[in-house]
Chain A
Amino acid sequence: MTDKPILDVEKLNIRFNTPTGINHVVRDVSFTLGREKLAIVGESGSGKSQTARAILGLTPGMVSAQKLEFNGRSLLGLSNAEWREIRGRRITMVMQDPKYSLNPVMRIGDQLMEAAARTNARSALKSRAMEMLEAVKIRDPERVFRAWPHELSGGMGQRVMIAMMLVTEPELLIADEPTSALDVTVRLQVLAILDDLVKTRNMGLVFISHDLNLVSTFCDRVLVMYAGQIMEELDAKHLQDAKHPYTRGLLACTPSLDHPVEVLPTLQRDPSWMAPVSR
């Protein structure tokens, strides 16, 4: 890649002030993202979601970093007005459950047009919205346009979310567990749509998940996080060659049809993983 990376993160730290002291949820996280699909994998509490939110300036915690750049522009210390320029237009995020992430008292069409209004003239709003609905393979876009969120199934709702977040042609999309709330069969459909759209638009994608196997087939690179730190960074193709014991532990935990075992292994946590990782 000769052009600037979409995301350049160096020693990102996020801290929360709690009554019992300071909670250091993200520690010295560093990575770069180009026009590729990067997965951040970890268990609950590993800090992956907070990292994602920090990229959008939406974490309630205190953010500090040596570098946090989007297309060469620093995201540290931006004003609200500057953030509003970026959010929704150049960086967007798809969240986990459309049941909660869509506004229940606004029609789908209105929510789509609201997103589209950032980059389109008023006269073009409806057509853009319909275009996106078709792009996410919704079969009856006119009906969905007029529908209320509770009338949609999980898969449809998530596709609407994707449409809403891509209508302004952003350069970076963050997907925070986008398929975790969906049935397994619907999951693959949604992933396929996401894959297609990201490729055709030549965007960067940060895919957050707890499912190592899922991201191994879908993403290009994988970052494994534990207790706020990155344990390992590797190509998705070479996941099986992971060296870090945590990653190996995760891989071993998932049951496989091809190699059945008597007893499912459980992860043995090593306290040394909590120690600061020197890079």
Chain B
Amino acid sequence: MSNTVSTGWVIALTPPQWRGWLLTNTPHSRWQARAGRAYLGWAAFARSPLSMLGLAILVALVGMAIFAPLITVYSPVVSGDTVADRFLPPGGDHWLGTDAHAWDIWSRIVYGSRTSLLIIFMVAIIAAPVGVAIGTTAGYLGGWVDTALMRLTDAFLALPKLVLALAFAAALGAGMENLILAIAITSWPPYARIARAETLTVRNTDYIAAAQMSGASSFRILLGHIMPMCMPSLIVRVTLDMAGIILTAAGLGFLGLGVPLPQPEWGSMVADGRNDILNQWWVCTYPGIAIFIVSLGFNLVGDGLRDVLDPREQ
């Protein structure tokens, strides 16, 4: 971990007794050492206003998803009077207006955050472990296993992600699970690459040799020693990828391959509003802004994490 410089508002605001305990050069337990490192990492991250902005966005996103019922008045899927309440402009009771089906747009955006979070989370949960498993195995075992697995990875990396996800989703049909699967299938290769690179650096170290000599099985070594080493680079990459995943999911939603109506999903909301854009611009505009802000948030946080965990520039 770089940036062991002890400055910044986080460090300034920490009560002195805690600061001493966290920054000590002689930690008494593994827990203390880890806490200290995490603390310094957080202090470094928090020094960048842009990173904090990104974090604020993500916190707002999660907050929106959790407290959805508390911050919305209308239901996102049950409409009011379909004739009178269609296409109400923003302002008044409906903060962001209503759409063609008389659904409240603000509600749909808020509840749409749940959809987005779910998609991102599931894709990460599927793609990252698969990628890490393949990458670490390839790096650790070497030989023909390495070559075969890396050929597989490179083949997948060489394929166009969006178009393939599109093809998958088109063949599987619309729906959330298919969408998640389609994106996950094309997302794992970079993680395999990263995991393999990290494994190769660590593979020949003394402590791995010690673990091998003490009789630990390959599986145990992989799981307990090697995979944790991949964590920093992986976390950075996953966070940055999430920005792209949001965009891909929205794009697929825009093309009608996401979650079907009436469930709120920002991409399909943009598609929905596209036909009536000339006079009812708000239906299309607000969901797009939401997509942009969330993607921006992930990019900012990802950049901030990279500066802290994996700095090659500064």
Contacts and interface: CB of A to CB of B under 8 A. Distances in A.
Contacts of A19: 5, 7
A20 B4 CA distance: 11
A208 to B, nearest CB: 27
Interface size, A (range)? under 10
Interface residues of B, number: 3
A19 B7 CA distance: 7
Nearest to B6: A20
Interface string A20-40: 100000000000000000000
A19 to B, nearest CB: 5
Contacts, number: 5
Interface in A1-56: 19-20
Contacts of A20: 5-7
A21 to B, nearest CB: 10
A20 B7 CA distance: 8
A129 B156 CA distance: 51
A134 to B, nearest CB: 42
A148 to B, nearest CB: 26
B278 to A, nearest CB: 54
Nearest to A20: B5
A20 B8 CA distance: 11
Interface in B1-44: 5-7
A19 B8 CA distance: 10
A121 B5 CA distance: 52
Contacts of B6: 20
Nearest to A18: B5
B57 to A, nearest CB: 27
A20 B5 CA distance: 7
Contacts of B5: 19-20
Interface in B76-101: none
Contacts of B7: 19-20
A27 to B, nearest CB: 23
Nearest to B7: A19
A20 B3 CA distance: 11
A19 B6 CA distance: 9
Nearest to B47: A19
A19 B5 CA distance: 7
A166 B170 CA distance: 69
A19 B314 CA distance: 13
5 contacts: A19-B5, A19-B7, A20-B5, A20-B6, A20-B7
Closest 5 A/B residue pairs (Cβ): A19-B5, A19-B7, A20-B5, A20-B7, A20-B6
